[in-house]
A and B are shown apart, each in its own frame.
Chain A
Amino acid sequence: MEYYFYTEKMSVGYGRPLIENMKICLKKGEILTLIGPNGAGKSTVLKSIAKQISLIAGAVYLDRQDIGAMSGTELSKKMAVVMTERLRTELMTCEDVVATGRYPYTGHFGILSKEDRRKVKEAMELVQIPEIADQDFTRISDGQRQRVMLARAICQEPEILLLDEPTSYLDVKYKLEFFSVLQELRKKKRITVIMSIHELDLAEKVSDKILCLNGSYMEKFGTPEEIFRSGYLKELFHISLGSFDEENGSMELEAVQGKPEAFVIAGLGMGRKTYRSLQRKGIPFAAGILFKNDLDYPVAKSLAANVFAAEAFEPVPETVVFMAEKELDLCKTVICCRETFGTLETVNRDLLFYARQAGKEIIMPQALFG
């Protein structure tokens, strides 16, 4: 299949090149997300594609047409943008702001036709803002403003949408709805989307392609499956405190360093809250014995000083049990997050028994939370 959008040896930057030789290709209707640390050049790339700043080298093609050669009006019918810059308005209602998206289609004095009005209304309904249509644009919340801006871009009827951090002020409800709208636009109108967002977990879920930028070159361009490999994002974002788990898309703060003071017996995802609670309290702990497919396992790996784990669906090796017992000997307290143990999970029951024998203080996690 033909690529709808592609760049050829594109170099972008303000005056001098920031990122050189970029090659991006997208099919019609694909969603591309730019990710990367602050200052990596996400906005610069978006602005360059939108012709807000001129390319240093190379070219951008839409439907095999060089956008550098397109007239402003021609491009405005194909490409709409939502930038981080605030729209400057005076005495304009939200509806007026949305209606500015019709600009490329109106006549010489910009009078809206009935058809234009209908499209404005449709766009507002799509992002659920009809109730604020008559309010002044300067008096609405940041989240509402982002939705108005999206409606404005939608009623410009573009083939490609450029969005610079479009969800930064949206609460969880509208964030989810925002991405549903994007998917709907893609399904119904085959709109191609290029956007930058900071929510890595959402980026993975909604994108067809992901472009990783790091401030000096294009790190990676590929499908989410290719990008979200274990450990890569920690590297891209130079994460030194805490961790990002690519598999589950969740962030954890940095583990407490030091000799474990508590041993947490968990499993079946029942230990995660306890791990985080201990991390907040600054108590180093050991976690065990977990199967590697357990929901607790990635969290324990991020937060525990020491994790005792075994391959899933395999018997737990004796060495692991032995090491866990040794570790438990050194801990003052044992926290048991489980009330019962599964038939094939006798190791944890034995470990709890071992702790009792050793005279350790055994507490329930509720004691911690209280």
Chain B
Amino acid sequence: MQRKKKVRRLMAFLLLAAGMMIFFAMNICLGSVEISLPEIVKSMSGQGMDWTKGRILREIRLPRTVAALILGGALALSGYLLQTFFHNPIAGPFVLGISSGAKMMVAAVMVFFMGKTGGLSSVTLILAAFLGAVLSMGFVLIMSRRVEQMSMLVVSGVMIGYICSAATELIVTFAEDADIVNLHNWSRGSFSGMNWDNVKVMAAVTAAAFLAVFFPAKPLGAYELGEAYAKNLGVNIRILRMLMVILSSVLSACVVAYAGPISFVGLAAPHLVKSLLGTAEPVFMIPACFLGGSVFCLFCDLLARNLFAPTEISISTVTAVFGAPVVLWVMVRRRK
């Protein structure tokens, strides 16, 4: 039995890693300009490549693909933390209104400060998103003390999401046209327009957050059993809970700052990964979630770019199509 479990976990990781590599390759190869894999290998070994193709590859496709990989993982991890924190299988940064809160603050900062100072640094955007995420999270936490039912918690999250979206619309309405060119695409969620500077910052933030989540994997496992038992096993519940709130906010803020609100990845990826692994142990779930989120986002971005090329559809449209059925499946399975 123990052996069987080990084999299954190993297979799951191999599958996720293989999926990631395949979709990564497809993402950089496919598009309005096709670049074949041999061409890329050749260019890496120092031989020249068509100049336009090289630029597309280096300055557009690669940063975008790497961003999808990093932010997808961050979203899944954030969703996993929220699901664990609330003991609620349908919690996630989008459902609980955390993404929308972050979006509102980023939009406000963009519109009110961009005009005056010109460009905004990545760090400012992340900080604004973090502030918005924490505000929403605070509201959800207050609600979670008042409502016992899981479903009501989600409803209150959805409501705050609507309020924040309305506020964002309001901000956008009164913004000058020049400001909202970028805003419009971004506020619907998109990986387009990433550059290497963006990728560097998001990689640093996500890597730090990932380590900070992985480090307390053992107490997280105990926390999943229920607070009474975790306490008896010597877990410091208060510190752990605080850590979970901060880390899930940082992760979803990082995503929103760069790619806008993306639905369903945080919600669906942890469930898919869990059934693949056959265990909910955080030591395995945390890295697997990250991989799963990456694969999911790479796959969805591939479709978003290529399905109706040259028109690009918003990433959330694709993630919803594949993510929402997962949520339904989870709820049906729990009824049994």
Contact = CB atoms under 8 A, between A and B. Distances in A.
Interface stretch (B63-71, B128-136, B222-230, B313-321): B222-230
Interface string A56-93: 00000000000000011111100111010111111111
A318 B187 CA distance: 102
A100 B222 contact: yes
B26 interface: no
A109 B283 contact: yes
Contacts of B226: 85-88
Contact of B218 (A75, A86, A106): A106
Given A76-B234, A87-B229, A92 B280 contact: yes
B274 interface: yes
B234 A87 contact: no
Contact of B221 (A50, A80, A95, A110): A110
B236 interface: yes
Contacts of B221: 100, 110
Interface string A99-131: 010011010111100000000000000000000
A98 to B, nearest CB: 12
B183 interface: no
A50 B231 CA distance: 9
Interface in B258-314: 274, 278-280, 283
B180 interface: no
A91 B89 CA distance: 14
Contact of A76 (B87, B218, B232): B232
B234 A71 contact: yes
Nearest to A80: B232
B1 A134 contact: yes
Contacts, number: 75
A88 B225 contact: yes
A52 interface: yes
A13 to B, nearest CB: 17
Nearest to B220: A110
Nearest to A90: B280
A76 B280 contact: no
Contacts of A189: none
Contact of A51 (B218, B224, B231, B278): B231
B232 A108 contact: no
Contacts of A50: 231-232
A81 B279 contact: no
Contacts of A93: 1
Contacts of A85: 226, 228-229
A298 B233 CA distance: 48
A261 B232 CA distance: 60
B127 interface: no
Interface string B68-90: 00000000000000000001000
27 contacts: A47-B228, A52-B231, A71-B234, A72-B233, A72-B235, A72-B236, A73-B234, A74-B234, A76-B232, A79-B232, A81-B232, A85-B229, A86-B226, A88-B225, A90-B274, A91-B274, A91-B278, A91-B280, A92-B280, A93-B1, A95-B1, A100-B233, A103-B222, A103-B233, A103-B234, A110-B283, A134-B1
Given A76-B233, A87-B229, A88-B226, 20 more contacts: A52-B232, A72-B234, A72-B236, A75-B234, A76-B234, A83-B228, A85-B228, A88-B224, A89-B280, A92-B279, A100-B221, A103-B218, A103-B222, A103-B233, A104-B233, A108-B218, A109-B218, A109-B283, A110-B283, A134-B1
Interface of A: 47, 50-52, 71-76, 79-81, 83, 85-93, 95, 100, 103-104, 106, 108-111, 133-134, 156
